[in-house]
Amino acid sequence: MFKTAMLSISCFLFLSVTACAPTDQAAEMDYDQTKKMVVDILKTDDGKKAIQEILNDDKLNETLVMDEKTVKETVEKTMTSKKGAEFWKKVFEDPKFAEGFAKTLQNEHEKVLKKLMKDPEYQKMLMQVMQDPEMAKKYGELVRSQEFRSHLQEVISDTLTSPLYRKQFEEELKKAAAESMKEEMKGGEEKQS
Protein backbone atom coordinates (compact mmCIF):
# COMPACT_ATOMS: atom_id res chain seq x y z
CA MET A 1 0.00 0.00 0.00
CA PHE A 2 2.78 2.41 0.96
CA LYS A 3 4.81 1.43 -2.09
CA THR A 4 1.85 2.14 -4.33
CA ALA A 5 1.41 5.56 -2.76
CA MET A 6 5.07 6.39 -3.12
CA LEU A 7 5.07 5.19 -6.75
CA SER A 8 2.06 7.40 -7.45
CA ILE A 9 3.75 10.35 -5.80
CA SER A 10 7.00 9.74 -7.69
CA CYS A 11 5.14 9.52 -11.00
CA PHE A 12 3.24 12.69 -10.18
CA LEU A 13 6.44 14.53 -9.32
CA PHE A 14 8.27 13.19 -12.38
CA LEU A 15 5.46 14.32 -14.64
CA SER A 16 5.43 17.71 -12.93
CA VAL A 17 9.18 18.13 -13.33
CA THR A 18 9.29 17.01 -16.93
CA ALA A 19 6.24 19.07 -17.83
CA CYS A 20 7.88 22.21 -16.52
CA ALA A 21 11.20 21.57 -18.26
CA PRO A 22 11.79 22.65 -21.84
CA THR A 23 11.17 19.79 -24.28
CA ASP A 24 14.75 19.65 -25.52
CA GLN A 25 16.11 19.17 -21.99
CA ALA A 26 13.48 16.54 -21.09
CA ALA A 27 14.57 14.33 -23.96
CA GLU A 28 18.23 14.62 -23.01
CA MET A 29 17.72 13.91 -19.26
CA ASP A 30 18.77 10.46 -18.24
CA TYR A 31 17.42 8.33 -15.42
CA ASP A 32 20.05 9.30 -12.82
CA GLN A 33 19.54 13.03 -13.36
CA THR A 34 15.78 12.64 -13.14
CA LYS A 35 16.07 10.55 -9.99
CA LYS A 36 18.40 13.09 -8.37
CA MET A 37 16.04 15.94 -9.23
CA VAL A 38 12.98 14.10 -7.84
CA VAL A 39 14.82 13.20 -4.63
CA ASP A 40 15.98 16.81 -4.22
CA ILE A 41 12.43 18.04 -4.72
CA LEU A 42 11.07 15.55 -2.18
CA LYS A 43 13.56 16.77 0.41
CA THR A 44 12.40 20.39 0.19
CA ASP A 45 9.67 21.75 2.43
CA ASP A 46 7.43 22.23 -0.60
CA GLY A 47 8.01 18.62 -1.66
CA LYS A 48 7.16 17.32 1.81
CA LYS A 49 4.06 19.49 1.93
CA ALA A 50 2.95 18.19 -1.48
CA ILE A 51 3.38 14.58 -0.32
CA GLN A 52 1.37 15.25 2.83
CA GLU A 53 -1.43 16.81 0.78
CA ILE A 54 -1.47 13.83 -1.58
CA LEU A 55 -1.53 11.32 1.29
CA ASN A 56 -4.34 13.23 3.00
CA ASP A 57 -6.46 13.14 -0.14
CA ASP A 58 -9.55 11.04 0.66
CA LYS A 59 -10.00 9.80 -2.90
CA LEU A 60 -6.42 8.53 -3.06
CA ASN A 61 -6.76 6.82 0.32
CA GLU A 62 -9.97 5.10 -0.80
CA THR A 63 -8.21 3.63 -3.81
CA LEU A 64 -5.22 2.52 -1.73
CA VAL A 65 -7.22 0.79 1.00
CA MET A 66 -7.37 -2.95 0.42
CA ASP A 67 -10.78 -4.50 0.21
CA GLU A 68 -12.05 -6.74 3.00
CA LYS A 69 -11.87 -9.89 0.88
CA THR A 70 -8.13 -9.43 0.23
CA VAL A 71 -7.41 -8.86 3.91
CA LYS A 72 -9.48 -11.90 4.90
CA GLU A 73 -7.76 -14.16 2.35
CA THR A 74 -4.31 -12.96 3.42
CA VAL A 75 -5.03 -13.59 7.09
CA GLU A 76 -6.48 -17.05 6.33
CA LYS A 77 -3.42 -18.00 4.28
CA THR A 78 -1.09 -16.75 7.01
CA MET A 79 -2.94 -18.52 9.81
CA THR A 80 -3.45 -21.86 8.06
CA SER A 81 -0.09 -22.25 6.34
CA LYS A 82 2.69 -24.38 7.82
CA LYS A 83 4.83 -21.29 8.38
CA GLY A 84 1.92 -19.58 10.13
CA ALA A 85 1.34 -22.58 12.39
CA GLU A 86 5.04 -22.71 13.29
CA PHE A 87 5.04 -18.97 13.96
CA TRP A 88 2.04 -19.17 16.33
CA LYS A 89 3.50 -22.23 18.05
CA LYS A 90 6.73 -20.33 18.75
CA VAL A 91 4.87 -17.21 19.84
CA PHE A 92 2.72 -19.12 22.34
CA GLU A 93 5.82 -20.75 23.86
CA ASP A 94 6.70 -17.30 25.22
CA PRO A 95 5.00 -17.19 28.67
CA LYS A 96 4.61 -13.39 28.64
CA PHE A 97 2.85 -13.41 25.27
CA ALA A 98 0.65 -16.36 26.25
CA GLU A 99 -0.33 -14.63 29.50
CA GLY A 100 -1.10 -11.34 27.73
CA PHE A 101 -3.09 -13.13 25.05
CA ALA A 102 -5.06 -15.07 27.67
CA LYS A 103 -5.79 -11.90 29.64
CA THR A 104 -6.93 -10.15 26.47
CA LEU A 105 -9.38 -12.92 25.66
CA GLN A 106 -10.45 -13.63 29.24
CA ASN A 107 -13.17 -10.98 29.28
CA GLU A 108 -14.55 -12.20 25.96
CA HIS A 109 -14.59 -15.80 27.18
CA GLU A 110 -16.38 -14.77 30.36
CA LYS A 111 -18.98 -12.84 28.35
CA VAL A 112 -19.60 -15.84 26.09
CA LEU A 113 -19.93 -18.22 29.05
CA LYS A 114 -22.25 -15.87 30.94
CA LYS A 115 -24.38 -15.44 27.85
CA LEU A 116 -24.50 -19.21 27.35
CA MET A 117 -25.45 -19.80 30.99
CA LYS A 118 -28.47 -17.53 30.52
CA ASP A 119 -29.49 -19.27 27.30
CA PRO A 120 -32.30 -21.76 28.08
CA GLU A 121 -31.37 -24.05 25.21
CA TYR A 122 -27.75 -24.27 26.38
CA GLN A 123 -28.87 -24.88 29.97
CA LYS A 124 -31.13 -27.70 28.81
CA MET A 125 -28.32 -29.34 26.82
CA LEU A 126 -25.90 -28.99 29.74
CA MET A 127 -28.41 -30.56 32.13
CA GLN A 128 -29.00 -33.44 29.73
CA VAL A 129 -25.27 -34.10 29.55
CA MET A 130 -24.85 -33.91 33.35
CA GLN A 131 -27.88 -36.18 34.04
CA ASP A 132 -26.90 -38.80 31.51
CA PRO A 133 -26.30 -42.01 33.51
CA GLU A 134 -23.38 -42.96 31.25
CA MET A 135 -21.75 -39.58 31.93
CA ALA A 136 -22.27 -39.93 35.71
CA LYS A 137 -20.66 -43.37 35.54
CA LYS A 138 -17.66 -41.94 33.65
CA TYR A 139 -17.30 -39.12 36.22
CA GLY A 140 -17.39 -41.67 39.04
CA GLU A 141 -14.71 -43.78 37.37
CA LEU A 142 -12.61 -40.69 36.73
CA VAL A 143 -12.80 -39.47 40.34
CA ARG A 144 -11.85 -42.90 41.69
CA SER A 145 -8.90 -43.36 39.32
CA GLN A 146 -5.35 -43.24 40.63
CA GLU A 147 -4.35 -40.83 37.85
CA PHE A 148 -7.02 -38.32 38.88
CA ARG A 149 -6.06 -38.57 42.55
CA SER A 150 -2.39 -38.01 41.71
CA HIS A 151 -3.34 -35.04 39.56
CA LEU A 152 -5.57 -33.62 42.30
CA GLN A 153 -2.78 -34.00 44.85
CA GLU A 154 -0.38 -32.22 42.49
CA VAL A 155 -2.85 -29.37 41.91
CA ILE A 156 -3.42 -28.92 45.64
CA SER A 157 0.32 -28.96 46.29
CA ASP A 158 0.94 -26.41 43.52
CA THR A 159 -1.84 -24.22 44.85
CA LEU A 160 -0.54 -24.30 48.40
CA THR A 161 2.98 -23.39 47.27
CA SER A 162 1.77 -20.50 45.13
CA PRO A 163 2.84 -17.16 46.74
CA LEU A 164 -0.33 -15.46 45.54
CA TYR A 165 -2.59 -18.14 47.02
CA ARG A 166 -0.53 -18.35 50.22
CA LYS A 167 -0.99 -14.61 50.82
CA GLN A 168 -4.72 -14.85 50.10
CA PHE A 169 -5.01 -17.91 52.38
CA GLU A 170 -3.20 -16.12 55.24
CA GLU A 171 -5.51 -13.11 54.91
CA GLU A 172 -8.58 -15.38 55.06
CA LEU A 173 -7.19 -17.16 58.15
CA LYS A 174 -6.59 -13.80 59.85
CA LYS A 175 -10.17 -12.71 59.07
CA ALA A 176 -11.56 -15.98 60.37
CA ALA A 177 -9.47 -15.73 63.57
CA ALA A 178 -10.59 -12.12 64.12
CA GLU A 179 -14.25 -13.05 63.64
CA SER A 180 -13.87 -16.01 65.98
CA MET A 181 -12.33 -13.76 68.63
CA LYS A 182 -15.21 -11.28 68.29
CA GLU A 183 -17.79 -14.05 68.68
CA GLU A 184 -16.01 -15.40 71.76
CA MET A 185 -15.94 -11.95 73.30
CA LYS A 186 -19.64 -11.44 72.59
CA GLY A 187 -20.40 -14.86 74.04
CA GLY A 188 -18.41 -14.05 77.18
CA GLU A 189 -20.23 -10.72 77.59
CA GLU A 190 -23.65 -12.42 77.25
CA LYS A 191 -22.75 -14.99 79.93
CA GLN A 192 -21.68 -12.23 82.35
CA SER A 193 -24.88 -10.29 81.83
pLDDT averaged over the chain? 78
Helix (H) or strand (E) holding 67, with range, is none
Helix residue ranges per DSSP H, the chain: 2-20, 23-28, 31-43, 45-55, 58-64, 68-80, 82-93, 95-118, 120-131, 133-144, 146-161, 163-192
The sign of the torsion formed by the CA atoms of 78, 84, 90, 93 equals positive
Looking at residue 82, its pLDDT comes to: 83
pLDDT at residue 175 in the model: 93
Predicted confidence at residue 66, as pLDDT, reads: 59
141, pLDDT greater than 70: yes
Q: What is the pLDDT of residues 73-121, one digit of tens each?
A: 877 777 778 888 888 788 888 878 888 888 888 888 888 888 988 899 9
**Is the confidence at residue 8, as pLDDT, over 70?**
no
- Residue 177 to residue 118: CA distance in whole angstroms: 38
Cα pseudo-dihedral 140, 146, 149, 154, rounded to 10: -150
Q: For residues 60 and 5, is the Cβ–Cβ distance under 8 A?
A: yes
Q: Is the pTM of this model over 0.95?
A: no
> Rounded distance, CA 147 to CA 161, Å?
21
Decide which of 60 and 26 is more confident.
Answer: 60
Identify the pLDDT of residue 109: 86
**Residue 33 confidence (pLDDT):** 86
Section 16-40 average pLDDT? 68
Measure the CA dihedral 40/51/8/15, to 10°.
-50
| pLDDT tens profile 146-191 | 888 898 899 888 887 777 777 888 889 899 999 988 888 877 666 6
